[in-house]
């Protein structure tokens, strides 16, 4: 652009008997339409990039959901096998662990919690 401007100005000045040694462009502005078009193009590019990112994010979430579902299915199969092999012992163990966790959480609370006496309110634990 600078070279083209220099050639045009040198030629035009030559018509008036002037010799230009060097031309330096110090300030250059574009028309409002051009500036607006550039800004709109940048916004469109950013929107397209955002859309690509959202699609990629959705694909990753889809893959994560599939992996989680497969893991849950395998866990369910293993639990079913364990129940078949160990009977209800595993279920009782999980109930006791859950009851211990509930009791621990209640003990950490500053609020006073009253539980009915003589009733098995923590997950129907056996009264043995």
Which residues, other chains included, contact 79 with Cβ-Cβ below 8 Å and sequence gap of 6+? 90
Structure-token match 């129907």, residue found: 124
* C-alpha span between 53 and 51 (Å, rounded): 5
Higher-pLDDT residue of 12 and 87 is 12
pLDDT tens readout for residues 25-44: 888 888 999 999 999 999 99
Instruction: Give the whole-angstrom CA distance, residue 89 versus residue 85.
Output: 10
Domain boundaries of the chain, sorted by first residue: 1-30, 31-108
Q: Report the pLDDT averaged over residues 73-101.
A: 82
Render 19-39 in DSSP notation, one character per residue: -------------HHHHHHHH
Give the mean model confidence (pLDDT) for residues 89-99: 81
- CA–CA separation, 114 and 121 (whole Å): 11
| pTM: predicted TM-score of the whole model, two decimal places | 0.43
Query: Is the pLDDT confidence value at 127 over 60?
Result: no
CA dist., res. 104 & res. 15, Å (int): 97
């Amino acid at each position: 652009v600078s070279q083209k401007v220099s050639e045009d100005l040198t030629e035009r000045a030559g018509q008036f008997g002037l010799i230009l040694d060097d031309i330096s462009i110090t300030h250059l502005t574009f028309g409002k339409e051009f500036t607006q078009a550039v800004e709109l193009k940048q916004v469109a590019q950013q929107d397209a990039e955002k859309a690509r990112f959202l699609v990629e994010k959705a694909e990753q979430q889809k893959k994560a959901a599939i992996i989680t579902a497969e893991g849950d299915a395998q866990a369910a199969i293993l639990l079913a096998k364990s129940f078949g092999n160990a009977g209800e012992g595993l279920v009782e163990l999980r109930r006791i662990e859950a009851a211990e966790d509930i009791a621990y959480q209640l003990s950490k609370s500053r609020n006073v919690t009253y539980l009915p006496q003589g009733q098995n309110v923590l997950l129907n634990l056996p009264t043995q």
